[in-house]
Amino acid sequence: MGTLNMLGLAKRIGARFLLTSTSEVYGDPLEHPQKETYWGHVNPIGVRSCYDEGKRTAETLTMDYHRGAGVEVRIARIFNTYGPRMCLDDGRVVSNFVSQAIRKQPMTVYGDGKQTRSFQYVSDLVDGLVALMEGEHVGPFNLGNPGEFTMLELAEVVKETIDPSATIEFKPNTADDPHKRKPDISKAKELLNWEPKVSLREGLPLMVNDFRNRILNEDEGKENK
């Protein structure tokens, strides 16, 4: 409903509308890496499907308003993004690992840790969104870093950055968790002149510094109560 309301507003006032969609529209992909032309492999009744299908529906509505009502639209399919100021406990894998390692807790890896994701630093995403909004192309565009890591490889990078003695705890995987995810960004490179600049090993320390300061302040606040 939120997307529908905003599309209606964009139609009334003649605004350009940006839909921040997601790599989750590809589901558990059979194509790797994923291009924007790939239709996806999604379980419509799975425990994760409300988010996946919600974003797919939002893309459908956005294109319907563009074709049927002439609304100017842009669609970005955003892959895993990290950086400072994220919620400390938002459930995303990078923030989970960083928070756990700083707090001297085991990093939780679900399944065997061989599933892959691609992680882009927040400033790269912002640059991509600006290029998309200021450009002439509707999209959809994959905005992500094509550097691919298994969950175990990500945990090792977090250990290198925070605490080499950090440990890993394995737990059963969640249902319908995609086995792999990596963007093909050829379209964004060609039409938006955009590609990510910050590697995981460059961006992660910036996030860690922010998380460490906030966790320290949080712990001091608890002690002073």
Helix-helix angle 200-223:151-162, to 10 degrees: 60
> Which residues, in sequence order, are CB contacts of 30 under 8 Å at separation 6+?
41
In this predicted structure, what is the pLDDT of residue 45?
92
In this predicted structure, what is the pLDDT of residue 95?
98
Q: What tens-digit pLDDT sequence spans the chain (225 residues)? A: 899 999 999 999 999 999 999 999 999 999 999 999 999 999 999 888 999 999 999 999 999 999 999 999 999 999 999 999 999 999 999 999 999 999 999 999 999 999 999 999 999 999 999 999 999 999 999 999 999 999 999 999 999 999 999 999 999 998 888 999 999 999 999 999 999 999 999 999 999 999 999 999 887 667 666
d(CA 180, CA 148): 9
In this predicted structure, what is the pLDDT of residue 41?
94
Q: Give the number of domains in the chain.
A: 1
In this predicted structure, what is the pLDDT of residue 220?
67
d(CA 214, CA 225): 17
Which DSSP helix (H) or strand (E) runs through 29?
Answer: none
In this predicted structure, what is the pLDDT of residue 176?
82
What's 33's domain CATH number? Answer: 3.40.50.720
d(CA 130, CA 135): 8
In this predicted structure, what is the pLDDT of residue 205?
98
Which residue, among 88, 97, 210, has the nearest Cα to 154 in the 3D structure?
A: 97
Residue pair 180/166 in contact by the 8 Å Cβ criterion = no
> Which residues, in sequence order, are CB contacts of 203 under 8 Å at separation 6+?
82, 83, 119, 121
Apex CA 36: angle with CA 35 and CA 38, to 5°?
70
The set of catalytic residues is 51
In this predicted structure, what is the pLDDT of residue 136?
98
In this predicted structure, what is the pLDDT of residue 175?
84
Joined tokens for residue 173: 């995987």
Residue pair 180/33 in contact by the 8 Å Cβ criterion = no
Residue pair 143/176 in contact by the 8 Å Cβ criterion = no
- Domain extent at residue 179: 2-223
In this predicted structure, what is the pLDDT of residue 224?
65
